[in-house]
Structure 1
Amino acid sequence: MSTTVLAAGDHFVLPRLLADAVRAAADDAGTDVDVRELTLPWPHTPFGPVGEVAEASGTEDELIDALRGAEVCVTQMAPVTERVLAACPDLKLVCVSRGGPVNANLEAATRHGVAVCYAPGRNAVATAEHTLTLLLAAARGVGDTHTDLRRGVWRGDYYDYDSCGIEIEGTTVGLVGYGAIGSRVARILTAMGAHVLVHDPYVAPESLRGVAEPVGLDALLSRSRVVSLHARVTEETTGMIGAAELARMPRGSVLVNCARGALLDYGALCDALDSGHLAGAGLDVYPQEPVPADARLLRTPGIVMTPHIAGGSQEVARKAARIVGAEVGRHLRGEPPAHCANPEVTRRPGARSAR
Structure 2
Amino acid sequence: MSGDVLKVLAAGDHFVRPGAVAEAIRAELGGRASVRELTGPWPIEPFGPVAEVHEASGDEDELIAALDGAEVAVTQMAPFTERVLAAAPALRLVVVTRGGPVNVNLAAAEARGVEVRSTPGRNAPAAAELAVALTLGALRRLAQVDATMRAGEWRSDLYAYDACGGELSGAEVGVVGFGAIGRRVAAVFEALGARVLVHDPFAAPPPSMEQVKLPDLLARSRVVSLHARLTPETRHMIGASELALMPRDAVLVNTARGALVDTEALTEALTSGRLAGAALDVYDPEPLPADHPLRALPNVLLTPHLAGATRQTADRAVAMAAREVAAYYAATRQGRDEGRDESRDQGRDREGRTA
Tell me if both proteins adopt one fold, taking TM over 0.5 as the criterion. yes
Deviating beyond 2 angstroms after TM superposition, the runs of 4 or more aligned structure 1 residues are 153-157
Deviation at 1:32, TM superposition (A): 1.4
Amino acid at match of 1:110: E
Q: 2:265 aligns with which of 265, 268, 288?
A: 268
Deviation at 1:46, TM superposition (A): 0.2
Amino acid at match of 2:296: R
Q: 1:248 aligns with which of 245, 250, 256?
A: 245
Structure-to-structure mapping, 1:187-266, within 5 angstroms: 187-204=187-204, 207-210=205-208, 212-266=209-263
TM-score (norm 2): 0.91
1:38 is matched with 38
Give secondary structure in 2 for the equivalent of 1:281.
strand
User: How far does the alpha carbon of each residue in 1:103-132 deviate from its partner, in whole angstroms, 9 at most, with x for none?
Assistant: 001100000000001001000010000000
User: How far does the alpha carbon of each residue in 1:4-54 deviate from its partner, in whole angstroms, 9 at most, with x for none?
Assistant: 111011111111111111111213xxx511111111000110001111100
- Give structure 2 stretches of 5+ with no counterpart: 334-355
User: How far does the alpha carbon of each residue in 1:128-181 deviate from its partner, in whole angstroms, 9 at most, with x for none?
Assistant: 000000000000000111122112222233222111100111010001110000
TM-score (norm 1): 0.91
Question: 155-164 or 234-243: which moved more?
Answer: 155-164
Amino acid at match of 1:243: A
Residues matched between the structures, number: 330
2:3 matched to 1:3?
no
**Equivalent residues of 1:199, 1:216 under 8 A apart:** yes
2:22 is matched with 19
**Equivalent residues of 1:253, 1:277 under 8 A apart:** no
- Alpha-carbon separation, structure 1, partners of 2:192 and 2:173: 11
**Equivalent residues of 1:208, 1:214 under 8 A apart:** no
Question: 307-316 or 264-273: which moved more?
Answer: 264-273
Structure-to-structure mapping, 1:60-209, within 5 angstroms: 60-204=60-204, 207-209=205-207
Aligned residues: percent identity? 57
**Equivalent residues of 1:97, 1:119 under 8 A apart:** yes
- Alpha-carbon separation, structure 2, partners of 1:286 and 1:147: 22
2:289 is matched with 292
1:57 is matched with 57
User: Higher RCO, 1 or 2 (CA under 8 Å, sep at least 6)?
Assistant: 1
User: How far does the alpha carbon of each residue in 1:238-295 deviate from its partner, in whole angstroms, 9 at most, with x for none?
Assistant: 0010111111001111110000000001222122222222221110001122221110
Deviation at 1:66, TM superposition (A): 0.3
**Equivalent residues of 1:274, 1:301 under 8 A apart:** no
- Alpha-carbon separation, structure 1, partners of 2:14 and 2:181: 24
Amino acid at match of 1:11: H
Deviation at 1:301, TM superposition (A): 2.0
- Give structure 1 stretches of 5+ with no counterpart: 337-355
Amino acid at match of 2:206: L
1:318 is matched with 315
Deviation at 1:335, TM superposition (A): 6.4
